[in-house]
Amino acid sequence: MVVSSQKAMVLWALLLGLLLVSPLANAELERVEHAAKADGSLSFLVVGDWGRKGLYNQSQVALQIGSIGEKREVDFIISTGDNFYDDGLRGVKDPAFHQSFSDIYTAPSLQKQWYIVLGNHDYRGNVEAQLSPMLRKMDTRWLCLGSFILIAGPQMAEIFFVDTTPFVSNYFIDPKDHVYNWKGISPRLHYINNLLLYLESGLRESTAKWKIVVGHHTIKSAGYHGNTHELAIHLLPILQAYHVDLYINGHDHCLQHISSTDSSIQFLTSGGGSKAWRGDVNNRWNPQEIKFYYDGQGFMSVEMTETDVDIKFYDVFGNAIQANFFCYVNVNCLGTL
């Protein structure tokens, strides 16, 4: 069944409006902590859309991630989802976990904690496997909790990991030939409403210098998938209201930086962990907003102190392909320098 996006959004609004009057369980997002370096700084890498058993240049990107990770002395790594193609993991004993993760990211600099969100391809498999403590026993680097808060520094940054796949209506109303595993999501609107309330509560209470939100799906993108309308409607207003500094995502297999004319949020895509080069860039974006777009494989690095954030993008050869851009506390990012 094909449903127009307009009708889907109307249905969404009606259901969400009804749900807002229903009682909610008392809960909050799980919190984990990660210490900063002795000088108070933090350094981490971001890669997404990678899990292809080393194919489509995944191994080559991993090699360069390890090299930059050593130079940057990274504290941890973030995955923006689509961790295992094409259909997630079959279970905790699926050899793809080792073939696409443990046996690929072997550099000494990458033997750090990995903080991971789920993507839409992960929902085509056994989602509970990626969330299972059993994977952490097999590889202690792996930490995937659905939606959670990483307290880094501890007061310098709070990074909010958001499970964005359940927001996207088409996965439910027009899944095409794909089968998604929604166990733990139903009732869907209740799951999403709770998530938004817990996220808003966490952002409201945050006293961190930097607030960062990580999800798989785009909010703003010039790539193949474009903007995710459900996130623009339901998630973006919360990010704006609580002055989030960065929204980091994957989903589009590219690297990009988009700013906003109506808020200080910087939208960063790091989805070049393996298969890329689609060649279908949307060139109709306002040049004041789109600062950088690279239709290829690569990853992103972030270095932060209490006063500034330094972000770089790298290609499959480890070359920096965008000059530094910086963000400063209480000041808009300066863009590409």
Is 253 annotated in a binding site? The answer is yes
Give the strand pairing for 266-270 and 308-315.
unpaired
Query: Is residue 3 over pLDDT 50?
Result: no
Of all residues in the chain, the percent with pLDDT exceeding 70 is 88
What pLDDT does residue 129 have? 98
3-state DSSP call for residue 87? Answer: coil
**Interatomic CA distance for residues 58 and 335, integer angstroms:** 29
Categorize the per-residue pLDDT at 329 as very low, low, confident or very high, splitting at 50, 70 and 90. Answer: low
Give the pLDDT mean for 207-231: 97
217 is in an annotated binding site: no
- Known binding residue 245? Answer is no
Angle, helices 188-205/5-19, rounded to nearest 10 degrees: 70
- 85 is annotated as contributing to ligand binding: yes
**Confidence label for 286 from pLDDT (cuts 50, 70 and 90):** confident
Active-site choice (225, 234, 243, 257): 225
Residues 6 or more apart from 335 whose CB is under 8 A from it? 257, 259, 291, 325
Pairing of strands 142-144, 113-116: parallel
More confident residue, 313 or 20: 313
> Would the annotation count 98 as a binding residue?
no
pLDDT value, residue 282: 81
- pLDDT class of 258 with cuts at 50, 70, 90: very high
Place of tokens 């590889």: 139
Average pLDDT, the chain: 90
Pairwise CA distance, residues 333 & 286, whole Å? 17
Active site residue 225: yes
Which residue in 126, 56, 52 sits closest to 88, CA to CA? 126
Q: What confidence tens digit (pLDDT) does each residue in 166-185 have? A: 999 999 999 999 999 999 99
Question: Domains in the chain, please, with CATH?
Answer: 22-328 (3.60.21.10)
In the chain, alpha helices (H): 5-19, 58-72, 96-97, 127-131, 133-138, 170-173, 188-205, 229-234, 236-241
